[in-house]
Amino acid sequence: MLYFPRLLLAMFVVHLLEGITWGDWIRLLRREGFRISPICWPRVVWITTHSLANSAMARHVARTRDAEIEAARVEAPVFILGHYRSGTTFLHELMATDPRFASPTRFQTFNPRTFLFSERWLAPLVEPFMLPRRVQEDEVALMNLVQQSPYMDWCFPRSRVGYRRFSTLRGADPAEIAAWSDAFGYFLRSLTVRYRRPLILKSPPHTGRIRYLLEAFPDARFVHIRRDPYTVYRSMRSLLRDIRPVFRLQTSAGEDDEEFVLSTYRDMYDAYFEDRALIPAGRQMEIAYEDLEADPIGQLRAVYRGLSLADFEPIRPAVDAYLQSIRGYRKSRHEPLDDELRRRIAGAWSRCFDEWGYPR
């Protein structure tokens, strides 16, 4: 019954930057030359109104919880890696059924500075009007905390800032990397204060940030999920069409989606293949989406065993219940790729085809 009102809110009013503070919001607008498209003005009102409240609530959290947040120790987080549309959300949802771990919710990632104060009373009021999502990727928290995320390019497609460098942090300067690390550490410590449990986290850009994640969390563990590159390409093109209206604060000048997908994937995996050797033995697992889809219980058991997470069997009933709940889910159908495009994909992503054995 609420689906269509939720959809309209998500498309035209609500925005992922609802947790930004007033000062950060004004600095962001100034950096973007206050270039906001008229269709997005309702979102500006939404963000601006929230930013004023966020600043007041953030000051309250700073006074009452900052010492506790600063002292919190993030216990061996598990990072789910993989390009967009490779099955990272499915794997995250499966692992989030384990009550011995915790994952951020939509409300927490949208309100990373204030959820320790506001979640208890505000989340029950607003969540019924949001599109349902059991767990949320932590990249949204970084958007709100420090605005150093490649997702900002979807908010400001006409921007000249170059947010894409934050996908792997390879093009970021030391001050930007330090700010990114501080913000991410703050969010994970806040989640630790909230849950007092190890965290399971998912954000596709983390695939190209292994070295920075290890610097911040030396005992982190990683599970990477891969998928047939041709399927990833087709699904990613479709995803871009769906998410741009949700993120936008500017209308687009017209993107070259083919080049965007090819280069984003290549940059991400260039960084991944270079840095995965930095992960200590016993802290990394590689699985294929096709195997996870065919045998989710067996693959999840292998992940738990390979990363020495915990005994898998106690959570099998919860995993079975989740799988039963999505039994009727039907994957989207995508147009086939023509031969010339398949050749371009195979050439641009050749290392992934070779590494994983997918046929070209």
Per-residue model confidence as pLDDT tens digits over 36-78: 999 999 999 999 999 999 999 999 999 999 999 999 999 999 9
Residue 101, Cβ neighbours under 10 Å: how many?
A: 20
Q: 5 or 26: which carries more pLDDT confidence?
A: 26
- pLDDT(249) > 80: yes
| Domains: count for the chain | 1
Residues 244 and 269: their CA atoms lie apart, in Å, by 23
Q: What is the CATH classification number for the domain harbouring 185?
A: 3.40.50.300
Q: Give the tokens for residue 200.
A: 């399971």
Phi, then psi, of 186 in degrees rounded to 5: -60, -45
Element (H, E) at 319: helix 316-325
Dihedral angle, C-alpha 259, 262, 244, 236, nearest 10 °:
140
The Cα-based distances of 96 to 84, 116, 187, 271, 325 in angstroms read: 19, 20, 18, 27, 14
256 exposure class (CB count in 10 Å sphere: 0-12, 13-18, 19+) = exposed
- pLDDT(309) > 70: yes
Taking alpha carbons only, the member of 43, 223, 205 closest to residue 139 is 205
Taking alpha carbons only, the member of 85, 91, 81 closest to residue 228 is 85
Question: 3-state class of 233 per DSSP?
Answer: helix
Q: Give the tokens for residue 274.
A: 């270079």
Report, in angstroms and rounded to the nearest whole number, the Rg of the chain calculated over CA atoms. 20
- pLDDT(127) > 90: no
Residues 167 and 187: their CA atoms lie apart, in Å, by 18
DSSP designation for 221: E
Dihedral angle, C-alpha 28, 161, 62, 114, nearest 10 °:
70
- pLDDT(263) > 90: yes
Domain containing residue 275: 3-356
Question: 3-state class of 115 per DSSP?
Answer: helix
Per-residue model confidence as pLDDT tens digits over 170-208: 999 999 999 999 999 999 999 999 999 999 999 999 999
Please state the length of the chain: 360
Residues 63 and 183: their CA atoms lie apart, in Å, by 18
pTM: 0.94
Residue 191, Cβ neighbours under 10 Å: how many?
A: 28
- pLDDT(3) > 60: no
Phi, then psi, of 87 in degrees rounded to 5: 105, 10
Per-residue model confidence as pLDDT tens digits over 277-297: 999 999 999 999 999 999 999
- pLDDT(89) > 60: yes
* pLDDT more than 90, % of the chain: 84
